[in-house]
Amino acid sequence: DPTTTSSLEDTDLMRPFFTDDTLTTLRPVEELRSAWAAMSEQNRTTMLRDCEENPSIKYREFCGAVENM
């Protein structure tokens, strides 16, 4: 989506990590690892960069989880 400025705002990229459509409840860590592994290296790199650049509390739990993958 060319209008999305951050991968963290891309619902298609983020949906596999959450249990709900509102993207508020993270999946269990095993499922997070599987979703992370299924992504392209480029998407993983972009998400990690976006986590580093985005201090929003909205993404803190997600970013904390993927930074440890």
Which amino acid type is present at position 69?
Answer: M
Residues 30, 36: contact at Cβ < 8 Å?
Answer: no
The alpha helices in the chain, defined as continuous H runs, are 11-14, 29-38, 41-53, 60-66
Residues 6+ apart with CB under 8 A from 42: none
Which pLDDT band, with edges at 50, 70 and 90, does 47 fall under?
Answer: very high
Over range 19-33, report the average pLDDT: 94
pLDDT at 56 over 90: no
Distance CA 25, CA 27 (A): 7
